[in-house]
Amino acid sequence: MSDPLASAKTFLFVPGHRPDRFAKAAAGGAGVVILDLEDAVGPDRKETAREHVRAWLEEGHRAVVRLNAAGTPWYQEDVASVGRALAVMLPKAEDPAEIDALAGRLPGMPILPLVETAAGIVGAVAICGADAVVRPAFGSVDLAAQLGVDDRSHEALRYARSALVVAAAAAGKAAPIDGVTTALDDEAALIADLDHAKTLGFTGKLCVHPRQVAVANRGLAPSESEIAWAREVVAPSGDGSVAVVDGRMVDRPVELRARAILDSAGEPYRPA
């Protein structure tokens, strides 16, 4: 995937009212920086944050902007100020019509819906199917709060995560971006979250601190054993026979997965 929004492994949030952190975040190794106008910014700082974000974008910098949710007092002005963003993230995404309306106001602007409510999970296929959507993101903390479960529990949110992965695939969109790990000083917890998300089919991670970026980039990259397996799968047998790798017959779906692994590792498959 050549689109950085579709292929990036890490998305780093930066509070919109902290312009002193924008350049550092952009240089910190994340695939994409998200300038946040929503959760990280209190009501008394919304206007200031919006102006800082607008100014930074007008200087030619590239970033995603997380808007305040549709229906909030700040949404309309947020939308009017982000015309130069790389993309916008729409929180509390539930209604495809709202996504289409946003796309109509920002023609050509890619949209990353943040699915973080029960209604959003139930309607995820329609949300992901909206034309302007590139890739969904999972809002684990907000959804857990609504459901009354622990956002750190893999089991409690397994269904919701899998539903979003399936929805993105059904709509032909890039695999989702997993929610944040709130334990900033617990690398083991971050690694466990990454392993779980990767197992379910997520290929990106929302990060809330720069120190999480390098760990997430490594955790979501194919392992050496995965790369070695993929190379063996796509290697031509030379005799026209059906290939068998690790005792498993290699059919078309297996080959496609192997090619996807090599592409993610920066080794696009090229037929001999």
| pLDDT, position 268 | 63
Alpha carbon distances (Å) from 159 to 16, 60, 156, 163, 175: 32, 40, 8, 6, 16
Q: Determine the pLDDT at residue 242.
A: 58
Tokens describing residue 211: 């120190």
pLDDT the model gives residue 224:
78
Binding-site residue positions for Mg(2+)? 116, 142
Per-residue pLDDT of 154-207, as tens digits, reads 999 999 999 999 999 999 999 999 999 999 999 999 999 999 999 999 999 999
What are the tokens at 259?
Answer: 């090619």
123 closest CA partner among 160, 80, 151: 160
Q: Would you list which residues are annotated within the binding site for substrate?
A: 66, 116
Structure tokens at 183: 């334990």
Q: Could you tell me the sign of the dihedral formed by the alpha carbons of 123, 125, 129, 135, in that order?
A: positive
pLDDT for the residue 76? 97
Give me the residues paired with residue 12 across strands: 33, 207
E-strand stretches of the chain:
10-15, 32-36, 64-66, 87-90, 111-115, 137-138, 177-178, 204-207, 244-245, 248-249
**Number of continuous H segments (helices) and E segments (strands) in the chain:** 13, 10
pLDDT at residue 241 in the model: 54
Which ranges constitute the DSSP H helices of 148-251? 158-170, 187-200, 211-220, 224-234
Domains of the chain: 4-220 (3.20.20.60), 224-264 (no CATH)
Q: Cα Rg for the chain, rounded, in angstroms?
A: 19
Residue 171 exposure: Cα atoms within 13 Å on the Cβ side? 25
**pTM (two decimals):** 0.89
181: left (phi over 0), alpha (psi -120 to 50) or beta: beta
Greatest CA separation found in the chain? 70
Binding-site positions read: 66, 116, 142
Q: What 8-state DSSP symbol labels residue 91?
A: T
Residues paired with residue 115 on neighbouring β-strands, in sequence order:
138
pLDDT at 70: 97
Residues 6+ apart with CB under 8 A from 181: 189, 190, 193, 205, 208, 212
Segments of the chain scoring below 50 in pLDDT: 1, 238-240, 272
